[in-house]
Structure 1
Amino acid sequence: MTEPSFLPSTPPRPATARQGAVILLGSSLTIVGAVMVAPVLPKLAAEFGPTTPHADALIPLVVAGPALAIALFAPVAGWLADRFGRKPMLILGTLLYALLGAAPSQLNDLSLILLSRLLFGCAEAMVMTCCTILVGDYWSGAERSRYIGRQVVTIGVVGSLFFVIGGAAGESSWRTPFLLYLLPLLLLPAMALVLWEPVRTPRSERPKAAFDRDNRRRMAVACLLVFAGMLGANIVPVQAPGIIAALGVSSSTLIGLAAGLGLLSSLFGSIIWPGLRRLLGTRMVNALLLALMAVGLWLLVHAGTYEMALVAVAIGGTGVGLLVPNALAPLLEHLPEAARARGVGGFTSCLYLGQFGSPIVIAAIAAHVQGDAQGVPAAIGVFSLALLGLAGVWLVIGLRRQVPAGEAGSA
């Protein structure tokens, strides 16, 4: 008897806004995983710092650890989605997300809290990977591109909302924000009732060359682009507060405003992405987004005033907003259905590996450039030049292999 797999052929029914709303809300869970906890890190440090060895190194991993877990587990999540189905794995991932997300509220050991956060990152990988695969399964063409853009915008909006909610919830206790991770349990009935599983095909009918030469090239290009882009994208939230403080700004509200402006500008980039892609094509948008990120980082480290720093954050944030949809869209458009889950898993892994590795790369460059913490601005300047060089490569590729606007979907 042939063992079935969960490789989609044709959708059993057309997807509607109902399926879209559930998938977009599910996608937003990944950003909530980080932003809701970040505001209570000082309280975690106050409670565990005096009693836990190496607490100063462990506490930041409460926020950063899940990103590493996502990077490592996302390819496995893609395989599981192929083997056991997108919908079942999404429902299981959401359930584990809620339970593991809330677990730290009941724990009194920092090591156990960190372990629960790493397992939580694996659940996040399942949710994000399955949601992205379903976007590829349910829609095609321009409609798929619209949902890719909406996915990024929804993640940004929900992330900004829960950053505020997490901070407010943590006023009384650091444990309270973790209890909010139980809210996704309310999504489970909608996932069960509204979503449907793509049609199963026999495993024996899986295409032999799902990853042929062209698909491997597209996969490598998308993964390298999003990895390099996320190395740069994560510089602003990690390093900008210190750079702005060095300008003499001591108000946490003003420093927070810069982070908020970066988020808003990334939303702007995501909103204008479909029009830019139709006008310029994928390759030229790659050149544009990398150039915007490079210019933003360069201006940030050379800003002489707070206002100039805000301009830098806005420019760079616009490029960040273009990054993920422009790297992901060609992948979903060209990967065959049999390879889609594995492709999305690899893409998600590179995205979060870049996010996790960003401060490590900047620290390594800083040590080489100047040898101490003062080398961070110089390191960011060096990295911005590398991004600008990469933008130049894409510009040359775009000019040499330019396609009509109507064929802008090629990778």
Structure 2
Amino acid sequence: MGHVTHESRTAGTRQGLIIQFASSLTIMGSVMIAPMLPKITAEVAANDPASVDMVPLIVAAPALAIALFAPVAGILADRFGRKTMLLVGCLLYALFGALPAIIADIKLILLSRLFFGFAEAIIMTCCTTLIADYWAPAERMRYINRQVITIGVVGALFFVIGGIAGEGSWRTPFLLYLAPLLMMPAILAWLWEPDRRAEETAVPAAPGQKLRLTIASSYFLIFAGMVTCFVVTVQTPTVLVGLGVTSTSLIGAAAGLAILCTLLGSVAWSFVRDRIGVPGVNVLLLLLMASGLFVLALAPSYGVVLVAMVIQGFGAGFLVSNASLPLLLKLPPRLRARGVGGFTSCLYLGQFASPLIVAGIAIPFGGMPAGLASAIIIWGLFATLLAAAWLFVGITRSRQPEQTVAG
């Protein structure tokens, strides 16, 4: 069930579950803490009012650290091994993740969250690379999608778990970041370092120019796609407030619907990809996300905003799997981890850049929030142009005699 390593081992369900749950540590990094921000803000306001503006960075800082450090994590994984670096990442995740439970200074908490993001970058890069190391292309596709689905499910669960754990104190959820310590024995026992030299001889590297084009297109797609996803994630509350919807329950319900539709899109990805190919799915996901932006920007009511959540969320469910698949199929083993590190960096850089890009586009239209609708529409038009570009790519490739699974 997957290619055999130099130790005559074959990856199976146990290895898949370990990698999937380890991958989910990255989503736990943000969702467990988000419900705690009001409590943290209240405590910081009482003790150090000048530092209140730093509180949102508790959630944002790890994403920035991942974007900056993921390429370095890939180089380290190629140099020292995926399993070794995964263990190091889990140890650092537990150490720096739990630190805010025992420190009070907001600046030290932010510093610990930056190092926590470094650990997340290592974990995500190693897990995604191991999927490509352990499984042959046909099964690799399935495990990529399972990884995405597991991350979504775990994220939804720990959003609730973090809220429950933080009822008494906002510090309690940080102790849950010690969970990777429980996974380390399983990683030691059931994962192994793949023999990359053997695979290099069995699987020739893609031609240099073609490989560079694959890397560039995957990186660009995931960056632009994540910017688009987070336009909805970040800006929907502002849109709803503009429509007179101030209930946090209603705003939360819209976010929950988007998450559910993203999961449905992830589940449907394999079915859709088998029928229209990777370039075709790129066209579809970009058109769906662009349509969601248009509906959101022009929405006259809460119900129409929910329609936007459904359209955009379903398209977003295709994104990570479809953008990463060509990369994982074509990267040679000696470059695989650093290639995945660059992909991870672009993914989180897109999240971080999204509100800055929207704010920049809105400036000629009166700034934020007055120019928000115009900015969303303009970015939606950009996503539509990208869909047209990938449609052209798909038509061009369909005329070529050599057609790979990567489209």
Aligned residues: 402
Matched, 1:57 2:41: no
Matched, 1:13 2:9: yes
Q: Give the partner amino acid of 1:323.
A: L
Compared CA separation, residues 196 and 256, structure 1 to 2 (3 A): same
Contact 1:215/1:334 (<8 A) preserved: yes
Q: Give the partner amino acid of 1:65.
A: A
Compared CA separation, residues 246 and 397, structure 1 to 2 (3 A): same
Matched, 1:215 2:207: no
Q: Give the partner amino acid of 1:179.
A: L
Query: In structure 1, what is the equivalent of residue 269 of structure 2?
Result: 273
1:245-270 deviation digits (Å, cap 9, x = unpaired): 22222322121111011111111111
Query: In structure 2, what is the equivalent of residue 24 of structure 1?
Result: 20
Query: In structure 1, what is the equivalent of residue 32 of structure 2?
Result: 36
Query: In structure 2, what is the equivalent of residue 116 of structure 1?
Result: 112
Q: 1:143, CA displacement in angstroms?
A: 0.7
Contact 1:281/1:408 (<8 A) preserved: no
Rounded Cα–Cα distance in structure 2 between residues aligned with 1:372 and 1:326: 33
Rounded Cα–Cα distance in structure 2 between residues aligned with 1:405 and 1:161: 46
TM-score, normalising length: structure 2 = 0.94
Rounded Cα–Cα distance in structure 1 between residues aligned with 2:154 and 2:268: 19
1:78-109 deviation digits (Å, cap 9, x = unpaired): 11111111001101101110111010011110
Contact 2:278/2:406 (<8 A) preserved: yes
Matched, 1:169 2:165: yes
1:137-180 deviation digits (Å, cap 9, x = unpaired): 00122211000000000000000000011111112111111111
Contact 1:12/1:199 (<8 A) preserved: no
RMSD: 2.3
The correspondence for 2:184, drawn from 184, 188, 193, is 188
1:203-232 deviation digits (Å, cap 9, x = unpaired): x99x99888221111111100000000001
Query: In structure 2, what is the equivalent of residue 5 of structure 1?
Result: none
Contact 1:9/1:337 (<8 A) preserved: no
Q: Give the partner amino acid of 2:333.
A: E
Identical-pair percentage: 54
Contact 1:62/1:113 (<8 A) preserved: yes
Contact 1:278/1:406 (<8 A) preserved: no
SS at match of 1:107: coil
Compared CA separation, residues 324 and 404, structure 1 to 2 (3 A): farther
Contact 1:280/1:405 (<8 A) preserved: no
Rounded Cα–Cα distance in structure 2 between residues aligned with 1:11 and 1:258: 49
Contact 2:205/2:331 (<8 A) preserved: no
Rounded Cα–Cα distance in structure 1 between residues aligned with 2:100 and 2:229: 28
After TM superposition, the structure 1 = structure 2 runs for residues 170-319 of structure 1, keeping only pairs within 5 Å, are 170-199=166-195, 201=197, 212-319=208-315
1:175-194 deviation digits (Å, cap 9, x = unpaired): 11111111221111111111
SS at match of 1:234: helix
Matched, 1:47 2:73: no
Rounded Cα–Cα distance in structure 1 between residues aligned with 2:405 and 2:206: 19
Query: In structure 2, what is the equivalent of residue 127 of structure 1?
Result: 123
Runs of 4+ in structure 1 displaced over 3 angstroms?
8-12, 50-54, 207-211, 403-408
Compared CA separation, residues 263 and 372, structure 1 to 2 (3 A): closer
SS at match of 2:398: coil
Q: Which moved more, 1:181-190 or 1:342-351?
A: 181-190
Q: 1:401, CA displacement in angstroms?
A: 2.2
Unaligned ranges ≥5, structure 1: 1-7
Query: In structure 2, what is the equivalent of residue 4 of structure 1?
Result: none
Q: Which moved more, 1:84-93 or 1:51-60?
A: 51-60
SS at match of 1:281: helix
Contact 2:73/2:125 (<8 A) preserved: yes
The correspondence for 1:386, drawn from 353, 372, 382, is 382
Query: In structure 1, what is the equivalent of residue 88 of structure 2?
Result: 92
SS at match of 1:228: helix
Rounded Cα–Cα distance in structure 2 between residues aligned with 1:335 and 1:236: 32
Compared CA separation, residues 110 and 405, structure 1 to 2 (3 A): farther
Q: 1:277, CA displacement in angstroms?
A: 1.1
Contact 1:44/1:59 (<8 A) preserved: yes
TM-score, normalising length: structure 1 = 0.93
Query: In structure 2, what is the equivalent of residue 410 of structure 1?
Result: 406
SS at match of 2:179: helix
Rounded Cα–Cα distance in structure 1 between residues aligned with 2:42 and 2:404: 52
Q: Give the partner amino acid of 2:232.
A: V
Q: 1:400, CA displacement in angstroms?
A: 2.7
Contact 2:87/2:187 (<8 A) preserved: yes
Q: Which moved more, 1:19-28 or 1:394-403?
A: 394-403
